[in-house]
Chains A and B, each alone.
Chain A
Amino acid sequence: MLNKSIVRLAIPVAAGALVLTACGGDDDGGDGGGGGTTYKIAFQGPLSGTNVALGENMENGIQLAINEANGSGDYDFTVEYVAADDQGVETQATAAAQSAIDDQDVMAVVGPAFSGPANVSAPLYAQAMLPAVSSSATDPTLTEDGKFATFLRAVPNDNAQGLAMADFLAAQDGIESVMIVDDVTPYGEGLAEVAESEMTAAGLSVERQSVPADTVDYSGAARTVTEAGVDALIYAGYYEALGPFAIRLQEAGYEGIRISGDGSNDDEFINLAGDAAEGWHLTCPCTDATENEGTAAFAETYEAEFGLAPGTYSAESYDVTNMIIEAMAELGGDVSREALYQQLAGTEYEGLTKTFAFDENGEFTNTAIFMYQVEDGVRGYLGGVDELVGG
């Protein structure tokens, strides 16, 4: 009796188990047959926190690239997007990088977006042999002696931006003295250092001031600038701090040439500073996606998808993502993190914004910098600095 009832129970259980495992097998097989294997591309950048606007610009660009690749039917694999939010700060960088590394399907990372977190995350990526391609971390030291084995910089570094600022100022009439204000972040200090040495070399007299990005009052800093009576002012930092600083400068009556870098090259700057943003020059290794012929179609699709115009580094992130997908395709069915890195390091990819190629340290080989200026509440695109200075 007892035995019988066990058998009676056991049969359906066993049968059920068989069916279940069979189903599981079928599921895997179904995936393989339909969209091929799935590879993930992670993005490490500020998806929350104070600099979220810059992070979202890039995230949208990446997602657009991935959606288009999946929809095109050109590839026998599917690409999936993974977010690794580092809030743009060093303290979150380890956790963000680790989350990408731990996911074995992640084959490449776009980012880290900011230089500070990049310094923390890049060694981890190197250990995991996970390629990290940043379209925006511009601190020159990141690629020194190729110290991070899998880090590729897909953007001209701050040396190029500092040099462009110096060239631009030197070409203006009557500019003799300049004050460089940094925000005490690795990005700001790095850019300020470079700008200082380039401007000293160009024969300008240079003063420095450091104002932490979270300062409670910019009046003192603005006062120091006006009291110094310098002909030009460089701000090396991000838009969220430049907003209130620009307002104080306007109130203090500062009228010299004002330049900031790619960290401030965002429409949020104009939103925060209002009238005080007028006249600010903004340099960027990024082109204006809406103005450039190559990226005009991209800008349209982007706007249709996300309901707003592409921002700083949107197009660049789109390019970088496509470059990674392209490299995956070239590897055929044999994509591993290490193989993908080798493929990317040797690539020469023609993107919408520029041609992407890297030297043996993972440094970008193209150094074009572009100039913007705020006019009537809009960031106007002036063109390449080389052309502006040359012409």
Chain B
Amino acid sequence: MSLSDIWDVLVLGVVLGSLYAVIAIGYTLVYGVLQLLNFAHSEVFMAGGFGGVIALTIFEPATDPSGLQSALYVLLGILGGALLGGLVAFGLEKGAYRPLRRRHASRLIFLITAIGASFFLYNLAGKMFGRYPMPMPTMYENKQVFEVFGTSVNVTQLLIVVAAVLMLLTVDFVVNRTKMGSGIRAVAQDPEVASLMGVDIDKVVSRTFVLGGVMGGVAGFLFGTNLQVEYTMGFLPGITAFAAAVLGGIGNVRGAMLGGLTLGVVEAFTVEWFGDAWRYAGAFAVLVLVLMFRPTGILGERVGRTA
């Protein structure tokens, strides 16, 4: 394998991995504050894909858009994905999880509810938007932007990586540097003490869901741009991103980023060496190996309260 081959595959891996990283944030944030595995997050991601399609269909892109026009359409798609993703996540917390928290339901019930909500949401999407794949409207000509060591990088790839890095920086800043972030961290460490200190837990939980949902929604739009949008599109990326969150250390925001990138790159090399049929075999073998030696993930869990 020559150096340029390695670069080719690495670029594919990083593109996919940054998407996984953004989705994984949604799992890890919610787990951090509620110790809840929010399996319905894959449907938040799917909603983002449809949000992008809807936004772009309403403001129908001109044929062969370019330049500033293209940038506007991309922004529109991102906004559409973020809006619908955030809305679904907000509704999910309000409609499905908050009533359970009020009743102090056991964690098993939360988990079953999450799975149920996931089934409900993707079937609802199937009913509303049709059970067939649809392409993302063309926003730009997907040409080569630049080359790194002989590997060409096209617009979609650049867009995905840049958007992902910006989102990851933002979420890292929000969690570590803002008032909202200290609320999230306080609730993650000890909800009771946090509430005694005047932190409004409901508000913090709700905002955490929306933050994760916005990220998941944008990831859904980007993923749809790279592939296509379909009501079942959330399942596989969702499971992989969840694995990425565990790999990095669930509850740990930077861990989720690292886990996502690792899985993306491992997948890309697995596909290169063993073929696409082995994609998940390679990625999940790495997951199992890491967890054998570091059961808390690469960077370790960062949840105040151990389960």
Residue A24 CB within 8 A of the other chain: no
Residue A243 CB within 8 A of the other chain: yes
Given known A216-B240, A220-B12, A223-B12, contact A210–B275 (CB-CB < 8 A): yes
Q: Is the interface of A mostly helix, strand, loop or mixed?
A: helix
Q: Is the CB of A216 within 8 A of B16?
A: yes
Residue A52 CB within 8 A of the other chain: yes
Given known A212-B276, A220-B268, A272-B228, contact A53–B138 (CB-CB < 8 A): no
Q: Is the CB of A212 within 8 A of B154?
A: no
Q: How does the 8 Å CB contact mask read for B7-30 relative to A, with 1 for contact and 0 for none?
A: 011001001100000000000000
Q: Is the CB of A271 within 8 A of B142?
A: no
Complex Cα–Cα for A215 and B278 (A): 11
Q: Is the CB of A220 within 8 A of B9?
A: yes
Q: Which of A195-244 contact B (CB under 8 A)?
A: 209-212, 214-221, 223-224, 227, 240, 243-244
Residue B279 CB within 8 A of the other chain: yes
Q: Which residues of B contact A219 (CB under 8 A)?
A: 12, 15
Residue B232 CB within 8 A of the other chain: yes
Q: Is the CB of B12 within 8 A of A210?
A: no
Q: How far is the CB of A251 from chain B (nearest CB, A)?
A: 6
Q: Which residues of B contact A49 (CB under 8 A)?
A: 131
Q: Is the CB of B236 within 8 A of A214?
A: yes
User: Among B15, B131, B138, which residue has its beta carbon within 8 angstroms of that of A48?
Assistant: B131
Of all chain B residues, the one with the shortest Cβ separation from A221 is: B276
Q: Is the CB of A216 within 8 A of B135?
A: no
Q: Which residues of B contact A52 (CB under 8 A)?
A: 130-132
How many chain B residues sit at the interface, stated as a range, is: 20 to 34
Of all chain B residues, the one with the shortest Cβ separation from A211 is: B276
Q: How far is the CB of B252 from chain A (nearest CB, A)?
A: 24
Residue B182 CB within 8 A of the other chain: no
Q: How far is the CB of B8 from chain A (nearest CB, A)?
A: 6
Residue B162 CB within 8 A of the other chain: no
Of all chain B residues, the one with the shortest Cβ separation from A56 is: B132
Given known A220-B276, A240-B133, A243-B135, contact A251–B154 (CB-CB < 8 A): yes
Residue A184 CB within 8 A of the other chain: yes
- Most chain B beta carbons < 10 A, residue from A51, A52, A218, A219: A219
Residue B271 CB within 8 A of the other chain: yes
Q: Which residues of B contact A53 (CB under 8 A)?
A: 132
Q: Is the CB of B230 within 8 A of A210?
A: no
Q: Is the CB of A209 within 8 A of B227?
A: no
Residue A268 CB within 8 A of the other chain: yes
Complex Cα–Cα for A66 and B277 (A): 43
Given known A220-B9, A220-B12, contact A50–B276 (CB-CB < 8 A): no
Q: Is the CB of B12 within 8 A of A211?
A: no
Q: Which residues of B contact A240 (CB under 8 A)?
A: 132-133, 228, 230
Residue A377 CB within 8 A of the other chain: no
User: Can you report 10 residue pairs joining A to B where beta carbons are below 8 Å apart?
Assistant: A48-B126, A49-B131, A52-B131, A209-B276, A217-B267, A219-B12, A221-B276, A223-B12, A240-B228, A244-B228
Which residue numbers of B lie inside 8 Å of A, CB to CB?
A: 5, 8-9, 12, 15-16, 126, 130-135, 138, 142, 154, 223, 226-228, 230, 232, 236-237, 240, 267-268, 271-272, 275-277, 279
Which residue numbers of A lie inside 8 Å of B, CB to CB?
A: 48-53, 184, 209-212, 214-221, 223-224, 227, 240, 243-244, 251, 268, 271-274
Q: Which 3 A-B pairs have the closest CB atoms?
A: A220-B271, A211-B276, A210-B277
Other than the known A51-B132, A216-B237, A274-B135, what 13 A-B pairs have Cβ atoms closer than 8 Å?
A50-B131, A52-B132, A53-B132, A211-B275, A214-B232, A220-B12, A221-B276, A223-B8, A223-B272, A243-B133, A268-B132, A272-B135, A272-B228
